[in-house]
A and B are shown apart, each in its own frame.
Chain A
Amino acid sequence: MIHGHFIRREIARSSKQAILFCLCVALSLTSLTVFSGFSESVSQTLLTDAKKLHAADIIVHSHDKLSDELDSAISDHIRQGKIDRSRYWEFYSMVRTADDQASVLSLLKVVEKGYPFYGEIVLKSGRPFHDVLTPGQTVVEQSLLDRLGAGIGDSLQVGYTTLIIRDVVVSEPDRPVNVFSFGPRVFVSSKDLDALSLIRTGSRITYVSLLKVADDRQIEAIAGRLKQFASPDRERVDTYRTARTRVKRFLDNFIFFLKLVGIFILIIAGMGIQNTLTAFFNEKQRTIAIMKTIGATHRQIIRYFMPVVVLPALLGTVLGISAGIILQQGLARLLSVFFPPDMPFAVAWIGIFESMALGIAVVALFTFLPLLRLKEVRPVVIFRKEKAVPHKHWPVFVSAIGFVLFFFGLVFRHMQDLRFGFYFVASLSALILVTSIFTRLLLWILKRLRIRRMVVRQAIKGLFRQGNATRSVIVTLTASLSVIFSIYLLEQNLDTTYVKSYPADAPNLFVIDIQPTQQEAFSNFIEQPLIFYPIVRARVTAINDKTIDRRAERAKRRDNLGRTFNLTYRHSLLADEKIIKGSQLFRDDWTDPQVSVLDTVVDMHKMDIGDTIRFNIQGVPLKARISSIRTRTTDTFGPYFYFVFEKKTLKLAPQTIFTALRVEKHRVGLLQGRIVKMFPNVSVIDLSATIQVFARMMKQLSTIIKGFCILSMAAGILILISGVFATRAERITESVYYKILGAGKTFVRKVFSLEIFIVGLLSGILALVMSQTGVFLICRFFLDIAYHPFLLSCGFIVGATLLLIIGVGMVSTISILEKKPVIYLREQPDE
């Protein structure tokens, strides 16, 4: 029989520890609900309005003109009245004002009547889109007007024609306005497509056919039939359910990082659960010992204490999920600019239930050890204070294996990448292990220091108070701070290398889509030595005759073989290249086609010298043998190519020319305008400006991620407070004895604050050393960029963290400091 009174009173007697335990459970549930649940919510939200998001039922996507087979299959279905079709062509091109004074790289969308089948394009004037977008007219994004200094009614030169700006696009269903792109949107009617004269051989154009199916039930069947006619290497047929839009890809990637942070917080919060529960049970040790003295078995004790644990855990679950839902809404609001318009974010309950199930698993996992440790409480502790010495080590091993398996499973489920999951779990384990070892070492040294100053001596002694959980606090705080510092340092180093100090000798203008016939004229026009790189767009279809599964490749987080590559041909290495396998770029003794690959490709798929790669070059197959493997000696902004061929192999392939040049910043705009005027089909990308836009966006996103990382610090702070409460009796005794012996309140305050300061300082220094080392290694050996330690900023963050920790620690000791000696002596417990 379990008494409700007993449960209530036991919780009330250790209410502070119960609250902290409850908060740690809440923290882990919040993290799960936000990071795992948010992903589900986004998927559900996007799926609910997926037709609108894709503007069609079936989407046919290609980087070349559709194959005749697929095109005629679509036409057949149209003739049978089963589908409607609306096509669009999307590509980058320079647009310029009528007076050629200003130009800007823009993302053109040339659309047929009927686009979009679902959702609508909202114009600033409120007029219907197709009423405005008639031949000879254009609709543009506001930022284009701002950048060109143009207005409604002005003329705009696009390609080889001139269009009149008629309206401003506010939103389009299948692309959020603020998703990162190289340039603002420009809508053009398909009737003007020929007049633009921009669709030329080798140009990077996305051909999309949107299909609306008359009978909804036929969507999958028709898509299935069309897939049979599609060339798997070039064309993609998706339904609105399976297609991955840019929005989805962007959110997927962002959520991926959020999930990593979420799992990290979950681990730290789990450590918090374990620590606060252990502190909670330490307060129950006497009660448990008495129960055992009276004859209670371990099982009976568990039965009595289980509800005492379950109730705060349940409360924590409810709190955590509620906070998670609120944070999901907040996160959705922060990211609203990236969502398609008119798509209200809704919390997915399936995600909430999944979080709840995972939360229960996490709580069970982290409460297992403290509950099992109750077995080690011996009845004799009612006579003397003694530390329960674990006589069996298997529970620790079992729970350690349980943690690793659970988290690996969780990581793998969310990352869908065994290798990445392994690296992530291994890195986190290494972080926690290394932190634990260093913490042990530092505390060992501190314990052995001979210090003369009494305040310092007493503060250090305080670190080793039983129940203080000093080691756990330092480990959790260090782990959290290390991650925050690392993100900060990495971001700062990338910013310094690529944004703030853009290399003086690096090219800042990339010129793409030059036609081979324009090369000479372009060279003469620029009047400076240029290197021209022929570009042939192709896909990799097989390696050693084993077909590449494009869908599986594209699902990978890292760069993969599923995308379209830019091939080139030349007979020499670039200045920043060297051969790491093979004797020379191409073998003299091979007569069949040869290809030299960059080591990055070898990272994507195992391959070696002599292996064969099959390409699909805009419909034409090409099989080549790997003659050498190259690497880059620096990560500069110069052009580089994954696949390099001999000239004889690719010279007849459809191609464009690419070149990069360095131009003084003040001349960029003028030169851009002149190039576009002379060569309307050529696009010029201002790299430094683009990088700055990209960096600004990345900074916004990394701020969100860092913000969430701070949640992991909360677990460390909760353990710190729990430690202070767990040692409350000892602290009061010390404080009272100090006072009885003549010490003032200031002395006691100094001892306690110094103790907390040492904990914060050790955590800060350890985190700083570990993150500096980690980021140094990443910068030097992974990114190949110069490393800057940013000591001043880091010192500032450590200082702020110290202030926070001391503040929290001192607030939790206020009641101890206020305790009057006489009251304490009167209150000495005798039961």
Chain B
Amino acid sequence: MAILEAKALNKTYTVDHQDIMVLNDISLTVEPGEFVVITGSSGSGKTTLLTLLSGLDKPTSGRVFIDQQDITGASEDDLAPLRNRMIGFVFQSFHLIPSMSAMENIMFPAELQGLSNAEKKARQLLERVGLADRADNLPSQLSGGEKQRVSLCRAMINDPKLLFADEPTGNLDSKNGRIVFEQLVEMKNEQGATLILVTHNPEIATAADRVLTLRDGRLTHKIQGLG
């Protein structure tokens, strides 16, 4: 049974009274535990598709189902528990809360859920990514690679079934990029989670179960990956 399903998604933006179609009739299904890469040139609509699939934005038309649940018309407050318990996000620009330390950033989703062992879990995750000694540092005191590893820990703390990653290595050098990617895949596999990853990087694409290519807002290729 599919964990994620999109049916005939369209997304149009209106800029200066002019409609710009970003996504055009996208339909896809993702099975539990799958690792799907979405690739495409700059401006092809990759990130927009990711935001629609994860419920961060709403499509102009079409429907999105997560774990059989139609999230298309759900309000922000209805989506909040779903995002908190079922979904983890990793972004190219990290998006850590600047006023929280590394530890607090990781704990935050667990605290929202009211978990009593949030701190313990966060500490374990930090140790796992080799950042135990940076727990009290603010994001501004961390390097890019460290920020992304904190972001990864934050995504994993609530044991999500679904992971969305938007160019997770895009802002990192090749060495740090490789470390982060390896840790991401490792955690995904341990958790048995599904990973939807947007990237330009052909090396990462080769690790995926399936590669979807977007061109001008349409899915043009569905390549079975090598991973």
By a beta-carbon cutoff of 8 Å, the part of chain A in contact with chain B is 1, 3, 5-6, 9-10, 12-13, 286-287, 290-300, 375, 378-380, 382-383, 830-831
A415 to B165, CA, bound (A): 63
A214 to chain B, nearest CB (A): 71
Closest chain B residue to A295 by CB distance?
B84
4 nearest interchain CB pairs? A295-B84, A9-B99, A295-B83, A380-B57
With A297-B80, A298-B76, A300-B112 known as contacts, the answer to whether A291 contacts B97 (CB < 8 A) is yes
Count of chain B residues with a beta carbon within 8 Å of a chain A beta carbon = 39
User: What is the count of residue pairs linking A and B with beta-carbon distances less than 8 angstroms?
Assistant: 95
State whether A831 touches B104 (Cβ < 8 A).
Answer: no
A807 to B109, CA, bound (A): 46
A631 to chain B, nearest CB (A): 58
B95, B140, B158: the one within 8 Å of A290 (CB): B95
A335 to chain B, nearest CB (A): 48
User: Which residues of A sit under 8 angstroms from B63, Cβ to Cβ?
Assistant: none
State whether B94 touches A831 (Cβ < 8 A).
Answer: yes
State whether B99 touches A382 (Cβ < 8 A).
Answer: no
A831 to B147, CA, bound (A): 8
Known contacts A12-B99, A380-B51, A830-B147, then 17 further A-B pairs from the complex at CB < 8 Å, ordered by chain A residue:
A1-B111, A5-B99, A6-B100, A9-B138, A286-B95, A287-B97, A290-B95, A291-B97, A291-B108, A293-B89, A294-B112, A294-B154, A295-B82, A295-B109, A296-B80, A300-B112, A378-B76
A466 to chain B, nearest CB (A): 15
Q: Does B176 contact A (CB under 8 A)?
A: no
A769 to B107, CA, bound (A): 58
User: Which residues of B sit under 8 angstroms from A298, Cβ to Cβ?
Assistant: 76-77
User: Which residues of A sit under 8 angstroms from B217, Cβ to Cβ?
Assistant: none
B51, B83, B147: the one within 8 Å of A294 (CB): B83
B161 to chain A, nearest CB (A): 13
State whether A287 touches B98 (Cβ < 8 A).
Answer: yes
User: Which residues of A sit under 8 angstroms from B40, Cβ to Cβ?
Assistant: none
User: Which residues of B sit under 8 angstroms from A9, Cβ to Cβ?
Assistant: 98-100, 138
User: Which residues of A sit under 8 angstroms from B57, Cβ to Cβ?
Assistant: 378-380
Q: Does B91 contact A (CB under 8 A)?
A: yes
Q: Give the interface centre of A6, A13, A375 by most chain B CB atoms within 10 Å.
A: A6
User: Which residues of A sit under 8 angstroms from B112, Cβ to Cβ?
Assistant: 294-296, 300
User: Which residues of A sit under 8 angstroms from B51, Cβ to Cβ?
Assistant: 380, 383
With A287-B97, A295-B85 known as contacts, the answer to whether A6 contacts B104 (CB < 8 A) is yes
A287 to B138, CA, bound (A): 14
Q: Does B130 contact A (CB under 8 A)?
A: no
B14 to chain A, nearest CB (A): 11
State whether A831 touches B96 (Cβ < 8 A).
Answer: yes
Query: Mind listing 22 A-B residue pairs with CB under 8 Å?
Result: A5-B99, A6-B99, A6-B104, A9-B98, A9-B100, A13-B99, A290-B96, A291-B108, A292-B76, A293-B56, A293-B95, A294-B89, A295-B83, A295-B158, A296-B80, A297-B81, A299-B77, A378-B56, A379-B57, A380-B56, A831-B93, A831-B94
Closest chain B residue to A289 by CB distance?
B95
State whether A294 touches B76 (Cβ < 8 A).
Answer: no
A5 to B99, CA, bound (A): 8
With A5-B100, A293-B89 known as contacts, the answer to whether A831 contacts B84 (CB < 8 A) is no
A375 to B94, CA, bound (A): 23
A590 to B101, CA, bound (A): 94
Interface positions, chain B 117-141, Cβ under 8 Å from A, are 138-140
State whether A830 touches B93 (Cβ < 8 A).
Answer: yes
State whether B93 touches A292 (Cβ < 8 A).
Answer: no
State whether B94 touches A294 (Cβ < 8 A).
Answer: no
Closest chain A residue to B150 by CB distance?
A831
User: Which residues of B sit under 8 angstroms from A295, Cβ to Cβ?
Assistant: 80-85, 87, 109, 112-113, 158
Q: Give the interface centre of B95, B111, B139, B158 by most chain A CB atoms within 10 Å.
A: B95
A296 to B108, CA, bound (A): 9
Q: Does B27 contact A (CB under 8 A)?
A: no
State whether B98 touches A294 (Cβ < 8 A).
Answer: no
A283 to B45, CA, bound (A): 27
Closest chain A residue to B84 by CB distance?
A295
A6 to B171, CA, bound (A): 26
A831 to B172, CA, bound (A): 13
Q: Does B168 contact A (CB under 8 A)?
A: no
A9 to B144, CA, bound (A): 21
A292 to B54, CA, bound (A): 12
State whether B139 touches A383 (Cβ < 8 A).
Answer: no
User: Which residues of A sit under 8 angstroms from B144, Cβ to Cβ?
Assistant: 830
Closest chain A residue to B57 by CB distance?
A380
User: Which residues of A sit under 8 angstroms from B80, Cβ to Cβ?
Assistant: 292, 295-297, 300
Interface positions, chain B 162-202, Cβ under 8 Å from A, are 166, 171
State whether A383 touches B76 (Cβ < 8 A).
Answer: no
A37 to chain B, nearest CB (A): 37
Closest chain A residue to B140 by CB distance?
A831
Closest chain B residue to A375 by CB distance?
B76
State whether B94 touches A830 (Cβ < 8 A).
Answer: yes
Q: Give the interface centre of A287, A291, A382, A831 by most chain B CB atoms within 10 Å.
A: A831
A13 to B113, CA, bound (A): 26
User: Which residues of B sit under 8 angstroms from A830, Cβ to Cβ?
Assistant: 93-94, 144, 147, 171
Closest chain B residue to A298 by CB distance?
B77
A296 to B97, CA, bound (A): 13
B160 to chain A, nearest CB (A): 10
State whether A831 touches B89 (Cβ < 8 A).
Answer: no
Q: Does B44 contact A (CB under 8 A)?
A: no
A296 to B107, CA, bound (A): 13
User: Which residues of A sit under 8 angstroms from B24, Cβ to Cβ?
Assistant: none
A286 to chain B, nearest CB (A): 8
A299 to B75, CA, bound (A): 14
Interface positions, chain B 46-78, Cβ under 8 Å from A, are 47, 51, 56-57, 76-77
